[in-house]
Chain A
Amino acid sequence: MHIFSQSFKYDHSWSHVVIGMWHKYPNPHCTHVVNVDVLDRTIDPVTGIIRTERVLGCKQKAPSWIVKLFGGSEDAFVREISFIDPATQIATITSINLSLSQFATCYERIQYRPMSSTQTSFTQTAEIQVRMAMWRSMTDKFEDWLVQRFEQNAISGKAGFSDVLRTMWEAKEQQTAPS
C-alpha cells in the first residue's frame, strides 16, 4: 500500500472555500474531469450536516497495457462522498475509484478547516492499494492454465512424434528385420 499526503492553505474563508467546492469543475487545470453528477443528497435537519454523493467521470490516462489487460475504457469513474458540517466547520470529501476497483483502489480524503477568518487549511491523504488477493487468484489461474497447456502440448507432442517415427521407420524396420 502506498500512502500519499499533503497539506496547504487557501487565502479564503472556510465558507468561501466550501461554496467554491461546488464550482470546482469545469476548470482548465482539471480537464480530465468531464462530468459530475449528484446521486444522493441529504440535509440533516438536526445537525445541519449536508451529505452529498457524486459520481465524477474522467478521461483517464491509464497506461495502454492496463487498458488491454483489464479491458478498461477511456472513461474512469470516481465516487465521491462529502460532508459539510457548518457547526464544526469541517468539510470532508472522500473519493474512491469505481473503475478498475476490482484490481486496485485509490481512497482519497480531503478536509477543509478554518485556520482564521480569512484562511482555510487543506489536507489530503490517499491510500493506493492493489488487491493482492485478486492478483494472486489471477496469477494462480494463469499458472494453472499454463501448466494445463504444457501438459496437453507434451501429450500431443509425444503422440505426434511417435507417429512421425513410426511412419519413418516402420517400413524400413520391417524390411531389414531378420527373417
Chain B
Amino acid sequence: MAHSLSAECTPLKHEYDACFNTWFEGYLEPAIANASTKGHSQDQRIEYSKLKKEEYDRKCGSIWAKYKDCVQKAVTERGLGELLSQARQENPLREPPPPDASGSS
C-alpha cells in the first residue's frame, strides 16, 4: 500500500485502507448482482445499500475518524489546504458525471 502524505499517518492509513478494501470486496459483487437480478425490487436494493453502509460505519468508522484527523493536519502543514478548498469550489464533483458517450459499446 502506498504511503501517506505524512509518515505519522501511514500506519493509520494502512489500517483504514485494509478495512475499506475488505468491506468493499464483500460489498461489490452482491451489489452488482442485486442491480441486474430482475426479481429484486428497488426496495431490496436500497435495503442492501443501507445495511452495508451501516456495516462499513460500524467496522471502519473509528479508524476512519483517526486517519481523517491525521491527514487533515498533514494537508494543512503541507500548505495544501487553500489549494484544496479552491479546487473544491471550482469543481465540487458531488454528483457522478454523466456516462461518457464515447465509452464502451
Verify that A and B bind, or say they do not.
Answer: yes
Do A101 and B4 have beta carbons less than 8 Å apart?
A: no
Do A5 and B102 have beta carbons less than 8 Å apart?
A: yes
Which residue on chain A has the smallest CB distance to residue B33?
A: A86
Do B2 and A35 have beta carbons less than 8 Å apart?
A: yes
Interface residues of B (CB under 8 A from A): 1-5, 9, 13, 16-17, 20-21, 24-25, 27-29, 31-32, 34-35, 45-46, 48-50, 52-53, 56, 64, 67-68, 71-72, 74-75, 80, 83-84, 86-87, 91, 93-94, 96-97, 99-100, 102-105
Residues on the B chain within 8 Å of A90, using CB: 96, 99
Name the contact of A109 in the complex, choosing from B28, B56, B71, B100 (C-beta under 8 A): B100
Do A22 and B20 have beta carbons less than 8 Å apart?
A: yes
Name the contact of A25 in the complex, choosing from B2, B45, B83, B91 (C-beta under 8 A): B2
Do A15 and B97 have beta carbons less than 8 Å apart?
A: no
With A43-B52, A48-B49 in contact, is A35–B104 under 8 Å at CB?
no
With A22-B17, A46-B49 in contact, is A79–B87 under 8 Å at CB?
yes
Residues on the B chain within 8 Å of A88, using CB: 35, 99
With A35-B5, A90-B96, A123-B100 in contact, is A55–B80 under 8 Å at CB?
yes
Which residue on chain A has the smallest CB distance to residue B30?
A: A86
Do B87 and A15 have beta carbons less than 8 Å apart?
A: no
Do A15 and B29 have beta carbons less than 8 Å apart?
A: yes
- The answer to whether the Cβ of A44 comes within 8 Å of any Cβ in the partner chain is yes
Do A46 and B46 have beta carbons less than 8 Å apart?
A: yes
Do B71 and A39 have beta carbons less than 8 Å apart?
A: yes
